């Protein structure tokens, strides 16, 4: 069955520290993966997608098919990165989401 797992509910780091938000998936096919972010009281918005391979707001994510992972990374966290982060898999047009990880960046 298609599934997305984000093992951490909460990740708390200090400003300037590296961040890695974990995402593992289960999918029988060629996956298309996304990271969505939800800042406080705002809508879900796309942060980045696997296929574009770009860096947004300093975040990157690499698809590792061997480990079935799509971890989100940033070398130096900023306070404004504090938000809820969702990993999602595109399954024929519908998105399958992970549980989400709250990132808290402390000053």
Partner 1 sequence: EPEVTQTPSHQVTQMGQEVILRCVPISNHLYFYWYRQILGQKVEFLVSFYNNEISEKSEIFDDQFSVERPDGSNFTLKIRSTKLEDSAMYFCASTQRGILRETQYFGPGTRLLVL
Nearest 5°: the CA angle 95, 65, 70 is: 50
Cβ 34 to partner 1, closest distance in Å?
8
* 96 is a contact residue toward partner 1 (CB under 8 A): yes
Rg (CA), the chain: 13
Q: Look up residue 38 and give its two tokens.
A: 């939800």
* 34 is a contact residue toward partner 1 (CB under 8 A): yes
CB nearer partner 1, residue 13 or residue 44 = 44
Can you tell me the distance from the alpha carbon of 85 to that of 10, in angstroms, rounded to the nearest whole number? 10
Q: Residues in the site for partner 1, rule: CB under 8 A?
A: 32, 34, 36, 42-46, 49, 51, 86, 88, 90, 92-100
């Amino acid at each position: 069955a298609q599934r997305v797992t984000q093992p951490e509910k909460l990740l708390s780091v200090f400003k300037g520290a590296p961040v890695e938000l974990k995402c593992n998936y289960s999918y029988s096919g060629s996956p298309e993966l996304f990271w969505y972010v939800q800042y406080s009281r705002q809508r879900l918005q796309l942060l980045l997608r696997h296929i574009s391979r770009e860096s947004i707001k300093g975040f990157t994510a690499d698809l590792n098919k061997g480990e079935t992972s799509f971890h989100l990374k940033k070398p130096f966290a900023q306070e404004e990165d504090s938000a809820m982060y969702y990993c999602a898999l595109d399954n024929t047009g519908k998105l399958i989401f992970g549980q989400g990880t709250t990132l808290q960046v402390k000053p």
